[in-house]
Structure formats: C-alpha cells, structure tokens
C-alpha cells in the first residue's frame, strides 16, 4: 500500500517545487554522510522536516524540501582500506550491522563505491519512508559542479581575508594520517585541545657528569605555572614505562599566530627529557625529530632529587600511582599548599610505611612541608589543607577530592593574589601572574609548551588513539576574527532558534571558536584552488550549500567544467563583474562563454534562488551546534547580504534504543529499512514523531512501537465503523451538511476544533509530539466519549434498522474527514489510502489543512441559548458536557453510598440570585466575602441576607476551582441529555424549573453549574 502511494506521488510530481506566486517555505536538514546504512535515529532526523513540509504544503505554502549527500572527507577512505585489509571488525560491521550483501562487500574497497552504494541506499530508504523530497535537486558533494561552487566560495572567503596560513595544533589520527573532526571519532567527540606549560626540572644525580649533553629533565605539564614557587616534590608512577627522548634541531613547532610566545621553545634544541612511553605517542607530533634514546626505570629515579628551575631548590621524586601516563608527559610536580590532590597524596605517602621503606624515603618525606604561593581572603596560608578539612576528604580515592580541586582552582584564578614573599610577581593577580610567569620561564628556557586533550581517550573511527599534532602550512578559517564574530552574532539575533535554550549555546560557540583548520591531506572532496596539495575539509564544504539546492537542477544540464566564479556571483548577487582578484585562472570577470547560458536562463536561475532564499529552517542535531550550525551562520554572515541570512534553526536531540545510546559501530542500531519492513513506514513515522519532541532524546522501544501500530489499525477500523453506522458508502467529498442542535454533537465538533487548533499551533513550533497528543490521543479520547454518549442511538440504528441519525453521521464523517487530513503529515500513506477509499478528492497530501470555525457549517451560537454576550461559545459547550458528566457521576456515587436504587431522580437548578452572586464574586475576582456580600446587598439580589452570606462563602470556595463563564441555560442542557443521564443512572430524571416539589428541601443546595439532586 505504501509503495503504491509513493509511486503515485512521484508520477504526479507532487513534491517538485518551483518558484511561483505562492508564499514559500524552504527547509533543509543536514545532509547525511552515507558511510553506512540508515538507522532509526536517522529516521527521526529526516521525518521531522518531512512532517513540517507536508503540513505547510497543506496550509497552501509552496514548500521546498531537498536532499543531498555529504560524501566529502576521510572516513570512507579508512573504511575502504580496512575492507581491503580484510579487517574482521570492519567486515563484520558492514555485513551484520549495515547488512551489505556478501557479493557487494568486496566492492566497498573503493571509497567512491561506498558513497555511491550508501547514498543510493539512503535515497531508497527515504523514498520508502514517504519523504516529500524534490529529488530533482539531489547531488553529491563530489559532483564536479558542486566542487566549482565550493571553490568559488572558498576563494571568496580568502579574498575577504578570512582565510590565513599557519601552524596550529589539530586533532589528528596517526593511522589515517589526517586531521580529524568530531565526525571522524568513535569516542571523545567535543573534547577540547588544551595548551599546557611544561616545566623543566633538571634531574640532580650525584656523580653525574656535569656536561650539558648529559643533563636530563623531567617535564611535568601544568595549567598553573605560577605554582612552580610552591613545588615541594615530583611524582612518578613506578608502574609506568618511561623513556628518554632527545629533541631535534628545530624544537617544538610554533603556532604561526603567536610567534613571540613560542620562540623560546627553540631552546628545547637537543635537550633530553624523561617522559612516559604513552605520552611520546602524542608529543612526538608536536616536537620535530624527537628521538627515543632508551628506556628509563622510574624505580631508580625515585628518591633522587630534581632542581626547581626558578627557585633552584632541590625537590625529591616520590612514587605515586595516580600519575596518568597518558596525560601531559607522565609526571606531576607536587604543590601541596595549593593542590588538594597533592596535599592528600603526601598525607597518604606519609602513612605508607612500606613504600617509604622500600625506597628509603623517610628523611625526604618528613622534610616536605606545603609552601604558600597565593594569598586568598578567608583561607589560611595552606588553602589546600583548608578545603580538604572543610569537605572532609579522606584519601586520594574520595570523590570529594575533585570538588575540592575545582573549588580551589576557581577561587585562586578569580581572587588569588601572588603572596608577598614571592619575588617579582608579589601582589599580582593570579590570572595575570600566571601568563607572565609562563612567558618569562619560556624565555629563560625553563619551560615549554605542549598540547593535550582535555579528556582521554579520543579515538578515531579507525580505532586508533588520536593525538594533537602541530600542522605546518595549514590553512585556517579566521573564526577568531572579531568583526566576523560580530556579524555572525547579528545574524543569530535575527534568527528564530528552536528550542530557545540553544541560543545561548550558539552565542557561546560564536565567541569561543578559534581559527579552524580547513584543509586536509587526504579524503574525498574539493582541492583548495590556490594550494592543490590540500583538500577542503567536510565541515568547511557544507556551510552554505542550502543555496546550492536552489540552483542544482539547472547545473545538471551544464558542462560544469565551464562554470566559473562569475556565474555564481551573477546568480547569487546579480553582480556583472566579479570583484574578486584573480587568484587563479578559474576566476574570470565574466561568465564563461563556453557555458552557453542565455540571459533568459540566467534570469530564471536568479529568480529561483531569490524566491527560495533566505532559508526558512535549518534542522540539525545538537552535537553539531558547536561546529556545523555555527559555521553555517559564520559563512552566511560573511558571504550573503542581510536579506539572505537564514531565518530559523531547529536543533534535534539524540536517539536511544531500548534505553541505550544508538551506535552503528557498537552494533546497537535498528536499520530503518528493517523497521519499515516490520511495521510499515507510517507506524515508524508515527512512533518517531509521538515519542518525543524533536529536541528531546527519543527512545525506540519495541513494545511502544507495537502500541503505535495498534493505534493506526484502530483508525482504519473507526472508518469502517462509520460506514456501518451510515449503512451506505461514505463520500468524504460530499458530506451531507446539517445544522446540529444536540449539545453533544456540538460538543464533539467543538472538541474537534480545539484539537485541530492546538495541533496546528504545536506543528507551527515543530512540536510533533504535542501535535500528536492533541490530534491523535486526545481527539481519540473525545471520539470515544462521543461514541459512548451516542451509544443508545448507534445501537438503535444498528439493531432495528431505524432511520439513520443524520446528525450523528454528519459529525462522524466530519471527524473522519478532518482526521485523515490532520494525520496526513504524520502517516501520509494511510491517510491517502483512507482518503481515496472514502471518496476524498485528489491526494490528501494536497488537501487543505483543516481550519477553525469557518470550516464548520453549523450555526453554533443560536442553538446554545447564550444569555450573556461575554460567553465564548466553545467554553459554554465544554461546560455543558461537563455538567452532564458530573451529574451522572454524582448520582452514581450517591447511589453507591446510600445503597439504594431510586426510581426517580429530581434535579433542581440554581435560582437567578445565585447566578448574580456568582457573577459579583467573579467581578470581585478574589474570595473576599465582605466585598462580595456588600455588593450583593447593595444590588438587592435576594431578600434573605443569611442565605446570601451562606452562598457567598460557598461561591468563594468554588470560584478558585471553577471559572465563571456567565449564566447558561442548565435546563436546556440537562433536558437535551435526559436519555443519556437516565440510561447511565437507571432512573427517571425530572429536571425542575422551581422548587414546588421538594419534599426534603434539597433545592436550596443548587449552585450555578452544580444542580442539586433528590432521589426517591
Ligand atoms: Zn584513524
């Protein structure tokens, strides 16, 4: 059934959108990187825009929802080579998780084939999901014309002086031999690269030859170089493998942007350092020609001394198991006065007699006392001790230790002053002294710089541990440029962000982003036009491609080799002369004549672009906020004028599978194609859209998916039921209109209106879950209630062939007709099927979105006997049904309590003066009995003051629970529902207009909206 409708849509070219007179909606979602099969997590990402696109189309908008394939970058190269190498893990992943047929597997040795294979697969699965994509605009980022577009864009940025050359630390995979972005990682996404200061402590060994070649250094890394003045000892891990390395001639590769600061690093020249074997993996990518000289046994170093580079004091080397060989260079210098971890480690060591004895450390350990460096108000000279005692940290394993460390680190950084006894820097704020001390030490060759990840491990998709590498001659986008940042902030200020809290994240990232290494050595993609050894990396070639969709279908018919910058300038900015400097031959001032585009075609393409741009909505996942979505804003701000800046952004949450994070590489996924086979696309769509709002994390639980399937089945049954009640074929295109009079019919129509209205508002804000709550779950509850209320009529019709109740059939047909339409964005195939089966006109995908009262044919107001002008019809209708329902409920409860089966039930209504009293109370607006009484007596609403007082109290209580909506005709309401109430309570119901028959004096209890009851 689903395939049938997909074919029909395609044949009718339903989703091909071209510019016309209508208002437009242009939305795009991050194009996928097809290096594996599509799973249900992707399903949510691409269903949200489809639902919105279908919704807006039904509202009469011209909607463009395009799709492309992001095949740029290195990951597929790695995959291809691992398949070539017959790597068992990769083979299993592609055979079992991505379900590539055995005969196709060997073909994946070609990276181009991988992207071809999976983008075709993605295309097919997206079609199977019923996505309303305009496929004429489909492209891959390796298409020659896309490459021309990217070259134009990067050249434009370079001419705007937003690209520079330099050396820079980048995340790097040694195995792939390429810088890596978050997309290339198995683990460690979003982990920052930190700059650390290495402090050079010379090892002081008795009897050592004092020539400089034999000088050995331990070089612990720190964020707090100022604490060098408080160093007391050094920690080495006796269970870690250490090596001696010798730096080459050039020293650490400097950051081109900060030459002054790094200059001192040249002093590493020829130095010999002791570092952990693990850290060599990282640091060898930062210091050129770092040679391993041999192994070092840490046990032999323990108990030896090192020389403090600034104070020249000797400090002992102590053993410590907490030293992480992967962090920094695998050693730590100890500052027990200011580092709670060092303070407590020293305490632990003092208590560890066995260890002290093994290394003969008794004298050394006893001589170590914490030193003061920083003065802090409200802390003693040894702040580490204060924090540890206050938080009662027991030992190194105590989780409160981290809290202590964080507290002191923050306080010292923001409020600390370098103490009086420290030379040169005394009285300086810590934050300032830190940088000065670092620079001074680097200048004097007492320190160096290294880079490390803030957290470990960071693992490439190929399974290799990543490192921080200093890349030479790298190209950078200057996201640090303050003017560029400011322009981007302006773009953000004018953009709608859903959900709202993401705005502050985007603000943060715009400020935080540093220059971005935008070129790579290997991968698929576009070469830098002016430096062909480099490829443009994937986040950089996917920033403004939304504009490419608007023109993609025209480029397919051109010889893309002839595309030049002038063409793009003309289309996007209507510039006849390309203002760019000629960076290379490709950038001419005029559109290449060989392109053979006439003026009419140019106009047509320009119109298409200016019709669709600006982009109305950009949709993407939340892990892309700090990179792709920020870059997207940066590049639009730089390249396009204000009027072409993106208008809105929706950021998605992540997907869980039975409570666990979905991950292809860990095999914890369900392929979307499998889910479609098992449940059908509509059930999958309905589940994905109803289980969470787009920005929340959703959890695929099979049980709930099956529940969703039942809902959809129920819907088909409901349609059949209506036809049965009607007793003849339904024709939704020609519903026989009637003027409704029964309150319950009006109530049902009113509920339908409310649900449609709420769902419409929810969908306008991308709240797919709320929309479905309203228009599926709550509306179904309403319909169930209505069917229950009408059961005596339905049964009669079905049993004895009594004439069909036209009002009932009208209400039910109208519900069905609206319902099919409102569900069409969510379950398009089922909606089409029902629509055509029951006589709907054309495609439901093209039907009008149901709207408000104008749509309802009956004259609502006159039938309601409204008695005040301030009544809102909808509220009165709701209140009427509420009165009927609570009447049934009250009677049945009383029956249960008194345990009698009455024959007759008398109902008394509140007299006029009580309504007036309620109205006064509502006017007063608060339960102020004095004021209510005063006005009631002043207006002379009732003779009996005692009664007024009594009811003023009651009403004051009541008004906090029940909103006063004006006087309504309760007699009319109850009379209309007599059959139902009677049936539900199994008694005759008599509604009295006065209290002429009231043997037990019950009538006086009647309240507005709450009639009194007497049973006999
Ligand atoms: Zn790798």
With cut-offs at 50, 70 and 90, classify the pLDDT of residue 215: confident
Report CA(458)–ligand 1 centroid distance (Å): 11
Give the tens place of pLDDT for each residue, 98-156: 999 999 999 999 999 999 999 999 999 999 999 999 999 999 999 999 999 999 999 99
Report CA(466)–ligand 1 centroid distance (Å): 7
With cut-offs at 50, 70 and 90, classify the pLDDT of residue 860: very low
With cut-offs at 50, 70 and 90, classify the pLDDT of residue 803: confident
> According to DSSP H, which parts of 129-218 are helical?
144-159
Mean pLDDT over 44-65 rounds to 97
Of 136, 149, 138, 139, give the one whose Cα is nearest residue 560.
149
Report CA(667)–ligand 1 centroid distance (Å): 19
Report CA(464)–ligand 1 centroid distance (Å): 5
427 pLDDT higher than 70: yes
Report CA(90)–ligand 1 centroid distance (Å): 13
pLDDT for the residue 256? 33
Report CA(79)–ligand 1 centroid distance (Å): 10
Report CA(465)–ligand 1 centroid distance (Å): 8
592 pLDDT higher than 80: no
Report CA(45)–ligand 1 centroid distance (Å): 27
Neighbours of 466 (CB within 10 A): 30
Report CA(625)–ligand 1 centroid distance (Å): 24
Mean pLDDT over 959-967 rounds to 83
Report CA(530)–ligand 1 centroid distance (Å): 27
Report CA(77)–ligand 1 centroid distance (Å): 10
With cut-offs at 50, 70 and 90, classify the pLDDT of residue 252: very low
Report CA(459)–ligand 1 centroid distance (Å): 8
Between the alpha carbon of residue 508 and those of residues 484, 488, 511, the distances in Å are 15, 12, 5
Mean pLDDT over 694-719 rounds to 94
Report CA(463)–ligand 1 centroid distance (Å): 6
869 pLDDT higher than 50: no
- Above pLDDT 70, what percent of the chain? 93
Of 407, 413, 395, give the one whose Cα is nearest residue 341.
395
527 pLDDT higher than 90: yes
Report CA(462)–ligand 1 centroid distance (Å): 4
Output DSSP code: residue 679. H
Distance (Å, rounded) from C-alpha 214 to C-alpha 203?
10
Report CA(173)–ligand 1 centroid distance (Å): 5
Of 244, 290, 251, give the one whose Cα is nearest residue 269.
251
Q: pTM for the full model?
A: 0.77
Report CA(524)–ligand 1 centroid distance (Å): 15
pLDDT for the residue 799? 66
Mean pLDDT over 600-610 rounds to 93
460 CB-contact burial (10 Å; exposed 0-12 / middle 13-18 / buried 19+): buried
pLDDT for the residue 441? 93
Segment 843-848 long-range contacts (CB within 8 Å, at least 24 positions apart) = 843/8, 843/9, 843/12, 843/14, 844/820, 845/9, 845/14, 845/54, 845/57, 845/58, 845/132, 846/14, 846/57, 846/58, 847/58, 847/821, 848/58, 848/59, 848/60, 848/821
Report CA(71)–ligand 1 centroid distance (Å): 17
Mean pLDDT over 757-762 rounds to 92
20 pLDDT higher than 90: yes
Report CA(460)–ligand 1 centroid distance (Å): 5
Rounded mean pLDDT of the chain? 88
206 pLDDT higher than 80: no
436 pLDDT higher than 70: yes
Report CA(947)–ligand 1 centroid distance (Å): 86
Report CA(257)–ligand 1 centroid distance (Å): 28
> Encoding tokens for residue 216?
């050995």
pLDDT for the residue 868? 32
Question: Strands 617-621, 648-652: parallel, antiparallel or unpaired by DSSP?
Answer: parallel
Report CA(457)–ligand 1 centroid distance (Å): 13
- Above pLDDT 90, what percent of the chain? 64
Give the tens place of pLDDT for each residue, 86-105: 988 889 999 999 999 999 99
Report CA(172)–ligand 1 centroid distance (Å): 8
With cut-offs at 50, 70 and 90, classify the pLDDT of residue 587: very low
Output DSSP code: residue 382. -
Distance (Å, rounded) from C-alpha 1002 to C-alpha 1012?
6
Give the tens place of pLDDT for each residue, 256-273: 333 223 333 445 667 899
> Encoding tokens for residue 824?
């069409």
pLDDT for the residue 69? 96
Report CA(32)–ligand 1 centroid distance (Å): 20
With cut-offs at 50, 70 and 90, classify the pLDDT of residue 78: confident
211 pLDDT higher than 60: no
Between the alpha carbon of residue 84 and those of residues 96, 176, 265, the distances in Å are 17, 15, 42
212 pLDDT higher than 70: no
Report CA(876)–ligand 1 centroid distance (Å): 67
pLDDT for the residue 23? 96
Report CA(249)–ligand 1 centroid distance (Å): 29
Report CA(76)–ligand 1 centroid distance (Å): 11
Lowest mean pLDDT among 620-634, 691-705, 730-744: 730-744
Report CA(452)–ligand 1 centroid distance (Å): 18
Report CA(240)–ligand 1 centroid distance (Å): 26
Distance (Å, rounded) from C-alpha 334 to C-alpha 736?
88
Report CA(83)–ligand 1 centroid distance (Å): 14
Report CA(461)–ligand 1 centroid distance (Å): 6
382 touches 337 (CB < 8 A): yes
pLDDT for the residue 250? 45
Mean pLDDT over 859-867 rounds to 35
Report CA(898)–ligand 1 centroid distance (Å): 79
pLDDT for the residue 19? 94
Distance (Å, rounded) from C-alpha 495 to C-alpha 145?
30
Report CA(80)–ligand 1 centroid distance (Å): 12
Mean pLDDT over 320-331 rounds to 92
Report CA(134)–ligand 1 centroid distance (Å): 36
> Encoding tokens for residue 947?
């009664």
With cut-offs at 50, 70 and 90, classify the pLDDT of residue 251: very low
* Region for 764 from its dihedrals, namely left if φ exceeds 0, alpha if ψ lies in -120 to 50, beta otherwise: alpha
With cut-offs at 50, 70 and 90, classify the pLDDT of residue 311: very high
Mean pLDDT over 694-704 rounds to 93
Report CA(735)–ligand 1 centroid distance (Å): 64
Give the tens place of pLDDT for each residue, 288-309: 778 899 999 999 999 999 999 9
859 pLDDT higher than 60: no
Report CA(631)–ligand 1 centroid distance (Å): 24
Q: What are phi and psi of 374, to 5 degrees?
A: -115, 140
Rounded to 10 degrees, the C-alpha dihedral 787/791/793/794 comes to 70
Report CA(185)–ligand 1 centroid distance (Å): 8
Report CA(177)–ligand 1 centroid distance (Å): 7
pLDDT for the residue 861? 36
Report CA(29)–ligand 1 centroid distance (Å): 27
Report CA(961)–ligand 1 centroid distance (Å): 64
pLDDT for the residue 248? 64
Residues in the 5 Å CB sphere of ion ligand 1: 173, 175-176, 460, 462, 464
873 touches 864 (CB < 8 A): yes
Report CA(467)–ligand 1 centroid distance (Å): 10
941 pLDDT higher than 50: yes
With cut-offs at 50, 70 and 90, classify the pLDDT of residue 576: low
Give the tens place of pLDDT for each residue, 363-418: 999 999 999 999 999 999 999 999 999 999 998 889 999 999 999 999 998 899 99
Report CA(626)–ligand 1 centroid distance (Å): 22
């Amino acid at each position: 059934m689903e395939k049938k409708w997909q074919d029909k849509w395609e044949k009718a070219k339903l989703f091909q959108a071209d510019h016309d007179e209508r208002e437009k909606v242009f939305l795009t979602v991050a194009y996928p990187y097809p290096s594996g099969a599509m799973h249900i997590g992707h399903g949510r990402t691409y269903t949200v825009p489809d639902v919105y696109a279908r919704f807006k189309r039904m509202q009469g908008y011209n909607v463009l929802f395009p799709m492309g394939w992001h095949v740029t970058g290195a990951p597929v190269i790695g995959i291809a080579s691992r398949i070539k190498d017959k790597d068992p893990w990769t083979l299993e992943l592609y055979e079992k998780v991505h379900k590539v047929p055995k005969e196709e597997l060997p073909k994946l040795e070609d990276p181009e084939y991988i992207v071809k294979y999976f983008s075709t697969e993605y295309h097919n699965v997206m079609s199977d999901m019923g996505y309303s994509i305009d496929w004429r605009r489909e492209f891959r980022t390796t298409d020659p014309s896309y490459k021309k577009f990217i070259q134009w864009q990067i050249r434009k940025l370079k001419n705007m002086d937003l690209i520079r050359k330099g050396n820079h630390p980048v995340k790097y995979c040694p195995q792939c031999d390429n810088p890596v972005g978050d997309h290339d990682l198995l683990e460690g996404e979003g982990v920052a690269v930190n700059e650390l200061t290495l402090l050079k402590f010379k090892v002081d060994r008795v009897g050592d030859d004092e020539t400089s070649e034999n000088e050995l250094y331990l070089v612990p890394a720190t964020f707090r170089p100022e604490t060098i003045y408080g160093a007391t000892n050094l920690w080495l891990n006796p269970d870690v493998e250490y090596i001696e390395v010798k730096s080459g001639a050039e020293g650490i590769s400097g950051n081109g942007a900060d030459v002054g600061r790094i200059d001192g690093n040249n002093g590493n020249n020829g130095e010999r350092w002791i570092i952990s074997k693990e850290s060599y993996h990282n640091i060898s990518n930062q210091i050129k020609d770092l040679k391993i000289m041999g192994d070092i046994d840490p046990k032999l170093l323990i108990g030896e001394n090192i020389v403090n580079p600034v104070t020249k004091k000797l400090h002992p080397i102590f053993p410590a198991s907490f030293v992480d060989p992967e962090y920094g260079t695998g050693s730590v210098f100890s500052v027990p006065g200011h580092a709670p971890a060092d303070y407590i480690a020293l305490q632990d060591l003092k208590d560890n007699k066995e260890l002290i004895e093994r290394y003969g450390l008794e004298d050394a350990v006893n001589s170590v006392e914490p030193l003061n460096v920083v003065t802090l108000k409200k802390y003693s000279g040894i702040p580490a001790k204060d924090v540890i005692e206050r938080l009662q940290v027991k030992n190194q394993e105590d989780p409160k230790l981290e809290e202590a460390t964080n507290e002191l680190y923050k306080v010292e950084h923001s409020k600390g002053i370098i103490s009086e006894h420290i030379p040169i820097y005394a009285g300086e704020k810590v934050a300032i002294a830190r940088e000065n001390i670092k620079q001074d030490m680097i200048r004097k060759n007492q320190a160096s710089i290294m880079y490390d990840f803030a957290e470990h491990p960071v693992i490439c998709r190929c399974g290799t541990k990543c490192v921080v590498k200093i890349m030479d001659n790298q190209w950078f986008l200057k996201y640090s440029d303050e003017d560029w940042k400011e322009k981007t902030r302006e773009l953000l200020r004018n953009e709608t962000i859903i959900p709202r809290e993401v705005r502050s994240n985007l603000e943060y990232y715009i400020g935080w982003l540093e220059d971005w290494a935008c070129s790579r050595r290997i991968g698929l993609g576009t070469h830098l036009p002016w430096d062909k050894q480099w490829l443009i990396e994937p986040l950089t070639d996917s920033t403004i491609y939304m504009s490419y969709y608007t023109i993609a279908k025209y480029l397919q018919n051109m010889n893309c080799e002839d595309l030049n910058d002038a063409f793009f300038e003309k289309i996007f900015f209507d510039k006849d002369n390309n203002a760019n400097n000629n960076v290379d031959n490709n950038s001419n001032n005029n559109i290449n004549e060989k392109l053979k585009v006439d003026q009419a075609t140019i106009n047509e393409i320009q119109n298409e672009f200016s019709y669709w741009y600006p982009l109305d909505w950009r949709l993407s996942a939340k892990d892309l906020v700090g990179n792709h979505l920020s870059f997207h804003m940066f590049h639009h701000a730089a390249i396009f004028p204000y009027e072409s800046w993106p208008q809105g952004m929706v950021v998605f949450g992540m997907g869980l599978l039975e409570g666990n994070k979905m991950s292809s590489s860990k095999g914890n996924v369900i392929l979307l194609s499998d889910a479609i086979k098992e449940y059908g696309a509509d059930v999958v769509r309905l589940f994905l859209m109803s289980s969470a709002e787009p920005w929340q994390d959703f959890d695929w639980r099979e049980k709930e998916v099956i529940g969703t399937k039942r809902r959809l089945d129920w819907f088909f049954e409901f349609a059949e039921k209506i036809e049965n009640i009607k007793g003849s074929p339904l024709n939704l295109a020609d519903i026989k209109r009637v003027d409704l009079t029964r309150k319950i019919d009006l109530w049902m129509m009113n509920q339908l209106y409310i649900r449609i209205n709420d769902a419409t508002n929810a969908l306008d804000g991308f709240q797919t879950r709320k929309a479905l709550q309203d228009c599926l779950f709550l509306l179904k509850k309403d319909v169930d209630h209505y069917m229950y209320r009408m059961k005596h009529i339905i049964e009669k019709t079905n049993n004895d062939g009594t004439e069909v109740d036209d009002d009932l059939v009208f209400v039910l047909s109208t519900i069905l007709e609206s319902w099919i339409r409102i569900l069409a964005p969510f379950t398009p195939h089922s909606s089409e099927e029902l629509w055509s089966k029951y006589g709907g006109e054309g495609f439901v995908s093209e039907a009008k979105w149901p709207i408000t009262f104008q749509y309802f044919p009956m004259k609502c107001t006159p039938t309601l006997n409204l008695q005040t002008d301030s009544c809102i019809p909808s509220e009165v209708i709701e209140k009427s049904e509420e009165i009927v329902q609570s009447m049934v409920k009250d009677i049945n409860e009383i029956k249960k309590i008194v345990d009698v089966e009455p024959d007759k039930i008398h109902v008394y209504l509140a007299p006029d003066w009580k309504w007036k009293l309620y109205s006064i109370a509502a006017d007063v607006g608060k339960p102020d009995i004095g004021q209510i009484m005063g006005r009631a007596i002043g207006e002379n609403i009732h003779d009996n003051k005692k009664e007024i007082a009594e009811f003023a109290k009651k009403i004051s209580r009541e008004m906090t629970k029940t909103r006063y909506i004006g006087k309504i005709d309760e007699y009319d309401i109850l009379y209309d529902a007599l059959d139902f109430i009677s049936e539900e309570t199994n008694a005759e119901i008599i509604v009295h207009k006065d209290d002429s028959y009231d043997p037990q004096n019950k009538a006086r209890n009647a309240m507005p909206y709450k009639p009194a009851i007497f049973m006999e």
